[in-house]
Chain A
Amino acid sequence: MPHDDHQAIVVEDEAGNIEGQIVVNALQEVLIAKGLVTAQEVTAAIAKLESPGFHQGAEIVAKAWTDPAFKSALLADGRSTIQSLGMAVTEARIIVVENTPDQHNLITCTLCSCYPRSILGQPPSWYISKAYRALGPRTPQGSS
């Protein structure tokens, strides 16, 4: 198999793509120097991106465990029910699935990185890795 068949994974490097970071830093310096954006605006945009997170997911699930009416509403209409907790949901629709003793669900985005970002924040790097997206559907219970 030629080496090219073994593609680099999209974002596997927790340390970040060094080259990409250098380009981003350089671009930001230029934009700030030209007065097109301020450092405060960049910081605020990053904070906004990072403010949702999996803690919100935990809050939603814990409420569903303890409040049967909330759980039914959540399964029927995820978007409006999550919004009722005061969380800003920007996705057009949220479909919620339930794990039971008999049924487990594994969620993957087949294309790249679809993820409920407005609720859970940015997806973890493994979620958008090609390995997970390929093996998740094929061997969801793990390869033997």
Chain B
Amino acid sequence: MTSNVTRFSTGDRVRVRALGKAGHVRIPHYIRGQVGEVVQYCGRYLNPEDLSLGKTNGQAVDLYRVSFPQSQLWSNEPHPPQDRLVLEVYDHWLETQGAANAP
């Protein structure tokens, strides 16, 4: 993660990994395992999961905004087909869609 090349680009289809991490993580359970589309690159920041434990010497991690169809996330709720949930997701929570270890 020392290069200036990001792993994902706008328009890429990605799956949110289900890392099973507890604690101060920013990935709600309803988004884990879901496939979405990268809509924006936000820059590179220290990992808040480390910062919450006082670890300030970690590597900066790429942050993306990822868009998911609401109708895909909430099967029990009616949602207009155009509605989207856009979530900021750090790089280590993302994999390309269809990766072998996808849940």
Binding site for B on A (CB under 8 A): 92-93, 95, 110-111, 137-140
Q: How far is the CB of B94 from chain A (nearest CB, A)?
A: 16
Q: How far is the CB of B83 from chain A (nearest CB, A)?
A: 7
A-B contact count (CB 8 A): 24
Q: CB-CB < 8 A to B73: which residues of A?
A: 137
Of all chain B residues, the one with the shortest Cβ separation from A103 is B82
Are A110 and B28 in contact (CB-based, < 8 A)?
Answer: yes
Q: CB-CB < 8 A to A93: which residues of B?
A: 42-43
Q: How far is the CB of B74 from chain A (nearest CB, A)?
A: 6
* Dominant secondary structure at the B interface: mixed
Are A92 and B43 in contact (CB-based, < 8 A)?
Answer: yes
Binding site for A on B (CB under 8 A): 24-26, 28, 30, 40, 42-43, 45, 65, 70, 73-74, 77, 83, 85, 87
Q: CB-CB < 8 A to A110: which residues of B?
A: 26, 28, 87
Give bound CA distance, A95 to B42, whole Å: 9
Q: How far is the CB of A140 from chain B (nearest CB, A)?
A: 7
Are A138 and B74 in contact (CB-based, < 8 A)?
Answer: yes
The answer, among B24, B40, B43, for a CB contact under 8 Å with A111, is B24
